[in-house]
Amino acid sequence: MHSISLTAAWSSFPVTEESRGWARWFGEPTNVASPEQVWLVAEGVEQRRLWLNGDRLTEEVTTRSPVLVTSRLQRRNLLLLLPAEVDAAAARSWTSALMEGRCEVTRQSLPRELTRVALLIGKELVDFGTSPDR
């Protein structure tokens, strides 16, 4: 199993007066061989929801819950971390605004509590908590 770190190159944008959303563009991994799968791992995302290309990835807000994303990946992907209170309609609106360049964003590092965001690629999911590329 190998991983691709998505920890760098994020943009933030105001969702409400008190909270921010985070956006990260990334390309489809080209090194995925059949029958390998791709999982998204995000650590430290309590009180946030993950959205990929406008679709909610996480129903429950948990830490270190890998999400199988192989079939959802496109050539160009937009991953959003939004506050848990943001509903599906608002998340899709943010996705559209970001994809169309109608949202003002600030290039910024992820907050310290978001310790790891990565794609894991392999035939089966193994213990991802010990990966050296944090």
Structure tokens at 96: 């559209």
In a domain, 128, yes or no: no
Please say if the pLDDT value at position 12 is more than 70: yes
Please say if the pLDDT value at position 129 is more than 60: no
37-53 tens-digit pLDDT: 999 988 877 778 889 99
Count of structural domains within the chain: 1
Residues 6+ apart with CB under 8 A from 11: 22, 23, 24, 105, 106, 107, 108
Task: Write down the mean pLDDT value for the chain.
Answer: 84
- Residue 77 pLDDT: 96
In a domain, 133, yes or no: no
In a domain, 73, yes or no: yes
Is pTM beyond 0.75 here?
A: yes
Distance between CA atoms of residues 75 and 97, nearest Å: 19
In a domain, 129, yes or no: no
DSSP-based three-state secondary structure for 99: helix
In a domain, 99, yes or no: yes
- Residue 133 pLDDT: 40
Please say if the pLDDT value at position 60 is more than 80: no
82-108 tens-digit pLDDT: 988 888 999 999 999 999 989 889 998
In a domain, 131, yes or no: no
In a domain, 50, yes or no: yes
The domain in which residue 98 lies consists of 2-104
In a domain, 122, yes or no: no
Please say if the pLDDT value at position 27 is more than 90: yes
- Residue 97 pLDDT: 92
